[in-house]
Chains A and B, each alone.
Chain A
Amino acid sequence: MLQLSDKGLRQLVIVFTISLLLGGLAILGLGIHLIVMGVQGTYSLPLVLFEGLQLAISVQASSLGSYVLYCLLLIACLTLGLLMLFLVRSMLISLEREKAFTQSLPLSIKRIAYLMLVLAYARQLLFLLAFQQELGKLTEFVSFRFQLLPTLAVYALVVLVFSQLFSYGLILQREYEQTV
């Protein structure tokens, strides 16, 4: 069974804290970049591909409306990812402090699952918006088909089942503790 020492947990918390700070700064920077682009009138959309955010390969938005919508959705997706990191960090802090499974653990797992579910469909919408723009030669390399049940949504459902199992485990643990 995998057991993390206090030191290991603390190091993981530090890594997650740094990731959160860097991620927050990156989103802030991207937000400013997108606003500047919008003000300048060059509605250049950064694409989110499988390798990550591609600023070099950009697509021209057809109108200001679609540019704003895409940018808002992009920032929302990235913020959701950051929120998931935050929840994992709070789970690690809870494990570090209380050294046992607490009520907050399945709750955090459940929240992560719901965030993953929202993120799965928000990403689909983001791709859909991007592929409605004029892609030019990019269509030769990338393609998109809307999926009713994306892979991330399946993962989210699995995580949701895990959170239910954790909740049941907590009930059993409480019953055991209250039995003399």
Chain B
Amino acid sequence: MAIIIRLDRVMADRKMSLTELSQQVGITLANLSNLKTGKVSAVRLGTMEAICKALDCQPGDLFEYQEEESSHD
């Protein structure tokens, strides 16, 4: 996918574990792990708000757009 999720990087910067974050955000560890590994197709604004509040960051810090290389080359 062209959208890269940088949740692990922000978490490492804040020295916060996945369990700790899941407790603060209020979503399950499994869902948070799926988000971290990019296995989700959408993120609710409510979840984004809670993550940004817990990690003291902006939504833009969590996502990055990288153009995918064409496979036709």
Contact = CB atoms under 8 A, between A and B. Distances in A.
Interface residues on B, range: 10 to 19
Interface stretch (B11-19, B34-42, B52-60, B62-70): B34-42
Interface in A164-180: 175, 178-180
A5 to B, nearest CB: 29
A152 B41 CA distance: 41
Contacts of B32: 180
Interface in B15-47: 27, 31-32, 34-35, 39-44, 47
A178 B30 CA distance: 11
Nearest to B48: A180
A179 B34 CA distance: 10
A160 B27 CA distance: 39
A30 B17 CA distance: 71
A140 to B, nearest CB: 66
Interface string A138-180: 0000000000000000000000000000000000000100111
For B27, B34, B39, B41, which residue has the most chain A Cβ atoms within 10 angstroms? B41
Nearest to B41: A178
Interface of A: 175, 178-180
17 contacts: A175-B41, A178-B39, A178-B40, A178-B41, A178-B42, A179-B41, A179-B42, A179-B43, A179-B44, A180-B27, A180-B31, A180-B32, A180-B40, A180-B42, A180-B43, A180-B44, A180-B47
